Structure 1
């Protein structure tokens, strides 16, 4: 598809409406790296900045794919999910960008949009790489936030918006949802890579082996869904500001910690995690490995601008998946 991104002329009315007719939009920067929504930094003529989130087909690079109906991490994007996640995290005492305005009625653009506080451009990922000593304060703050999230419990697992729409609670166990999700990712990835096709039976058996060790549990905390240090901004005061939380859901907290262990590496212990079920954690860790093969291979078939990065990511996880399924 031909993608047309926002220009300054598209936003003069929004800026005037939100900040007054005496304020002007001096520059507009579209941030790279996003795959599901557009993220823009608006620079006003008084040198203040705000962030604009845009949910539209033209900003979403992901092609459709088969999904598990009760998988709460499916289609984790949209203004409704953002609003629900923002409210839930704020209530749990988690630092997120201040919400200034949402428009889901097309008053300003032909898309759902939100204006939020600009919490800066420094990501925890960069601090961990270049200045680990300075990262200690936001790491500690993030650990505090995660414990608040992971001890904020819901009555059942599922997306925050499901109950608001009056949907019936899920009936299946979370680990069974994840097994179906993982095997669906394996099927899709095996159609694109002969190594996975050849190892399909072996990988499937490994998934079921991991599932067999998981015992029943019904305790669901708030989880981000795919929290890495690239999803945490660090303010000049050392605050850890959580972003990209449209996937927020009530689920097993091990799902978050499988991501955290993978993405934070040696810094993970500084988060001081809650107690975890090691068997559930191991199943979820392997399921995420399969997800990080299928997703990158699928998006690499589109016009996503950094195709090589996605293919390299998939290759790394293919090696992991094959090596662990023996």
Structure 2
């Protein structure tokens, strides 16, 4: 897949900073968008997020829009506003164009490089503040579902059953346990009590989606922000942060148990589907799928 160069992003740099672009570097990590460091003629830098078909490694796939392909300028801008208003730190917005957003280049290190204790404490405090922002409806902040929409656990069950079928067709070890796993999904779903209030969540927050600059955690890759069950966020946090995760008080353990199995299935199905395309970091995706196959079978 060809990446963008100076000629492709020169006008973006002029619009954002009024300066000439000397060089660009595509940063590792984006699978749905291109992330480029813009190096300007005065030595300063910025970060450009680019949403174009040429930057998207994911094969076409039909899925509930709540989860499916959480990417695009509008989702980014909506999430940026929602998180900022909730008190989280996000990169300062410099430019929003048709398919490009430019934000400040904060430098710093990803939290995964060193789990700084102070930065972690600030992260958990920031997330707690974000989660205190609630809505009686779930969904993207600019596209909330109606009050009579199917309950969140029903949406998760439907999605997880679809992932189970996809995984069964591709992973013999899951195929051998298919009936047991479906029974587990349905049993855990049945144990979940109704709920009418949903929290604002990041949706995909790992230590690789947190930059630390001057000791402050800054959230990136924010397009998955939505109002949803807070347990969905905490299941992902415990998967990604391990012993560094700080559980919130009052989490519904029935939801946690149900969402763990659903997310492990998702983390088999998604990486395997991504590998159907031209995603370059194939060993990492294979390792994620293999790890989560084990976790699914242990459930």
- State TM-score, norm by structure 2: 0.96
For 2:93 and 2:262, the matched residues in 1 are separated by 33
Q: Identify the residue that residue 151 of structure 1 maps to in structure 2.
A: 132
Structure 2: which 5+ runs fail to align? none
Give 1:156-235 correspondences, 5 Å limit: 156-163=137-144, 168-169=146-147, 171-235=149-213
Instruction: Confirm or deny: 8 A CA contact 2:84 2:90 kept in the other structure.
Output: yes
Measured after TM superposition, the shift of residue 84 of structure 1 is: 0.4
Measured after TM superposition, the shift of residue 169 of structure 1 is: 4.6
Q: Give the secondary-structure state (helix, strand or coil) at the position aligned to 1:11.
A: helix
Deviations 1:127-155 (A, max 9, x none): 12xxxxxx111111111111111110112
Measured after TM superposition, the shift of residue 162 of structure 1 is: 1.2
Instruction: Confirm or deny: 8 A CA contact 1:150 1:253 kept in the other structure.
Output: yes
Give 1:63-74 correspondences, 5 Å limit: 63-67=59-63, 69=64, 72-74=66-68
Structure 1: which 5+ runs fail to align? 105-111, 129-134
Q: Identify the residue that residue 238 of structure 2 maps to in structure 1.
A: 261
Instruction: Confirm or deny: 8 A CA contact 1:42 1:51 kept in the other structure.
Output: yes
Q: Identify the residue that residue 277 of structure 2 maps to in structure 1.
A: 302
For 2:101 and 2:148, the matched residues in 1 are separated by 30
Q: Of 87, 94, 101, which residue of structure 2 is paired with 1:100?
A: 94
CA-based RMSD: 1.4
Q: Identify the residue that residue 217 of structure 2 maps to in structure 1.
A: 240
- State TM-score, norm by structure 1: 0.88
Instruction: Confirm or deny: 8 A CA contact 2:13 2:38 kept in the other structure.
Output: no
> Which sits farther off after the overlay, 76-85 or 23-32?
23-32
- State the number of aligned residues: 299
Matched, 1:34 2:40: no
For 1:169 and 1:44, the matched residues in 2 are separated by 49
Measured after TM superposition, the shift of residue 168 of structure 1 is: 4.0
For 2:85 and 2:16, the matched residues in 1 are separated by 25
Runs of 4 or more consecutive aligned structure 1 residues displaced over 6 Å after TM superposition: none
Deviations 1:281-312 (A, max 9, x none): 11111111000000011111111111222112
> Which sits farther off after the overlay, 42-51 or 247-256?
42-51
Measured after TM superposition, the shift of residue 4 of structure 1 is: 2.5
Measured after TM superposition, the shift of residue 274 of structure 1 is: 4.0
